[in-house]
Structure 1
Amino acid sequence: MNAPLRSSDGDGAAHVSLAELLALRARVGKASLPQQASRASRSGQQSSRLYGRGMDYAESRVYQGGDDVRRLDWRLTARSGKLHTKLFQEEREGRLLIVVDGHASMRFGTRVRFKSVQAARAAAWAAWYAIKAGERVGLMGFGAHDELLAPRAGPRGALAACGALADWDANDAASGAEPLSQVLQNVGRVLRGASRVLLITDGACSDEASRRHLVELARQARLGVLAVVDPLETALTPTGRYPLEHDGERIEWIVGSERQQQALPQLLGAGHARLLALTKATGVACRTVDTTEDPFDAVAALLGLRGRA
């Protein structure tokens, strides 16, 4: 079998297609959503709107004895001639922080698209899915792009995420080695009330120190890990001659014996194997998606989970 071990240079294969990321919104519109659990404690069998001292305005009503005079709605009072009080709804809105790996190892693909492109597609789908569920969406990059987009509500949050993903891909920076343990610590520092975290990575940056930080982060938020892989990293390599190309240099990899068939996936898939071992040991929910698959089901499963798997 002769096949080049690289993705084509077409838009959406080796590079992120912003149009595709935006188009995912239509598909999310047809998806069913899991019932969301409130972060606030409740008693009894009926859920109810809580009015308190939060900052989210709910409505105004006629002033009642005992109401806080600092909450008077002066505009409505002036229009109606009767005192009105502003009521504020306790914030129950969820917040999703999507964390995307931008290391050089993600710029690889032998089937359909690069891992970096698949990661962007999964992140965009998660963003559209979250805003449909009424959550705010934030985005954090690491590796080549150490940037953070604060959580935003509504379509603007998803649009900002999609735009950032496309910009990061188009303006590839030198990617330093950033261990996953450090990334997880950084995520813990910038959660800012995020109730869920979706980490998208190929696992190449995973290290043993990540174990403790995975556990700590899972205690702070509902954590899910999406492992993005290339088929060559997880399956035996068929026998044949494989031309490899990197930075203009081309070599030929010959696969003949069973040992040679196992060598390439063991080498390329080492990071993925470490990531799976870490998530299994810590009980953190993890799903794997390769570059040929639609990430729809894997992302939906992670966002629909409660706590740990």
Structure 2
Amino acid sequence: MSAVLATPTDGDGRTRVAVTELIALRARVARVSWPPVQSRASSAGQQHSRLYGRGMDYAESRAYQPGDDVRRLDWRLTARSGKLHTKLFQEEREGRVLVLLDTHASMRFGTRARFKSVQAARAAALVAWFAVRAGERIGAMAFGACDRVLKPRGGVRGALAFCGALGEWDALENPAQFEPLSDALARAGRLLHGASRVILISDGFSCDEAARKRLLDLRHHASVGVLMVGDPLELASAPAGRYPLEHDGVRREVALEADRQRETFQRALGAGQQRLGDLARALGLRRRTIDTTADPMDAVTALMGQGGGVT
């Protein structure tokens, strides 16, 4: 644990991911009163096995057959029916959660509170701690400028490794590399390995038309949730004024005075979230949108729990 806490990649929590902050989110998840994760979902990718064995969950009883374990006899049903009956149990398989994390250069943008990349990491860490609470394994795949995979691991150690990976990936130099969302989803499909749920965290700028089929393919194997992360300037028209923007050390000032000018600016910046949101809505996927100033707790709780799919 100390290796994670002392990681040299720990950032300021604004432009770089602070691993210590991600680890501290564990305490917040522990205080959530309603269990947000249903580990035996009845949707695609369910963990509930129909293998009858020495599991802890009672399934049903049936007439005794030669070779059945006499220790599993259902004495109450036997007494009522006058015939021997055996209890059958469902073996619960350990669930797996796979987080797909967008690391494109567009995520390194923010006008308030923090970069989208930092907010995305905070949300991903909450997903990890919720998974630990539900007894599920947590894994991750970064796509875009960073191409990395973290194999699913369980327990607190798994979540700590997950948080550490988020910090390490954020600290990597991000080249101007672009990966269409459809390509990333295709890779994710090959990495599922029994994952019961997938959480996509992105600003949507890599969303392409081919992503529709890939999301449908994923939905056949797992429960899919989409968390769209945006800057306030991307999600709503800014008040009239002059805004300083900096990119690669170059500082410029953008004048946004007229209503039409501000609306055009907002539509251009928010095109990614709009595309991904429209796609998730059309496919009926569970979805939420947060900006860089928001507390991601409610959005993550809804995606990991039983809440509706509206933004």
Does 1:37 find its partner at 2:45?
no
Q: Tell me the residue number matched to 2:20.
A: 19
Deviations 1:50-108 (A, max 9, x none): 89xxxxxxxxxxxxx889xxxxxxxxxxxxxxxxxxxxx94521100011000000000
Give distance in 2, aligned partners of 1:215 and 1:252: 42
Distance 1:292 1:104 in 2: 19
Which amino acid in structure 2 is aligned with residue 297 of structure 1? D
Identical counterparts, % of pairs: 56
The corresponding residue for 2:73 is none
Q: Following the alignment from structure 1 to structure 2, what is the Cα–Cα distance between the partners of residues 207 and 239?
A: 32
Residue 253 of structure 1 aligns to a residue in which SS?
A: strand
Q: Which residue of 2 aligns with 1:94?
A: 95
Aligned to 2:287: 286
- Counterpart of 2:248 in structure 1 is 247
Whole-Å separation in 1 of the counterparts to 2:201 and 2:186 = 16
Q: Quote how far apart the aligned CAs of 1:238 are.
A: 1.1
Q: CA deviation at 1:204?
A: 0.5
Q: Whole-Å Cα distance in 1 between the matches of residues 222 and 259 of structure 2?
A: 44
Alignment of 1:107-256 (within 5 A): 107-256=108-257
Alpha-carbon offset, residue 116 of structure 1? 0.1
Contact 1:96–1:137 under 8 Å retained in 2 = yes
Give per-residue Cα distances to partners, 1:186-207, cap 9 Å, x unaligned. Answer: 1111101100000000000001
Contact 2:245/2:253 (8 A) holds in 1:
yes
Equivalences, count? 264
Other structure's SS at 2:48 match: coil
Q: Distance in 2 between matches of 1:33 and 1:176?
A: 39
CA distance in 1: counterparts of 2:307 and 2:189, whole angstroms: 19
Structure 2 counterpart of 1:183, one-letter code:
A
| Residue 272 (structure 2) pairs with residue 271 (structure 1) | yes
User: 115-124 or 147-156: which moved more?
Assistant: 147-156
- Gaps (5+ residues) in structure 1? 1-9, 52-64, 68-88
Q: CA–CA distance in 2 between the matches of 1:249 and 1:153?
A: 44
Deviation at 1:48, TM superposition (A): 4.4
Measured in 2, the distance between the counterparts of 1:22 and 1:41 equals 32
The separation in 2 between residues aligned to 1:66 and 1:175, in whole angstroms, is 63
What secondary structure does 2:13 align onto?
coil
Distance 2:97 2:132 in 1: 9
Provide the rounded CA distance (Å) in 1 between the counterparts of 2:308 and 2:109: 32
Unaligned runs of 5+ in 2: 1-10, 42-46, 60-66, 70-89
- Residue type of the alignment partner of 1:40: H
Question: Contact between 2:207 and 2:272, CA under 8 Å: does it hold in 1?
Answer: yes
Q: Quick one: structure 1 residues 175 and 90, their matched pair in 2 at CA, closer, same or farther if it must change by over 3 Å?
A: farther
Does the CA-based 8 Å contact 1:96-1:135 persist in structure 2? yes
Give the AA of the match of 1:202: D
- CA distance in 1: counterparts of 2:170 and 2:58, whole angstroms: 43
CA shift, 1:308, in A, is 7.2
1:212 CA displacement: 1.1
8 Å contact from structure 1 (residues 223, 308) kept in 2: no
- Contact conserved, 1:237 with 1:261, CA < 8 A, in 2? yes
Q: Judge conservation of contact 1:106–1:114 (CA < 8 Å) in 2.
A: yes
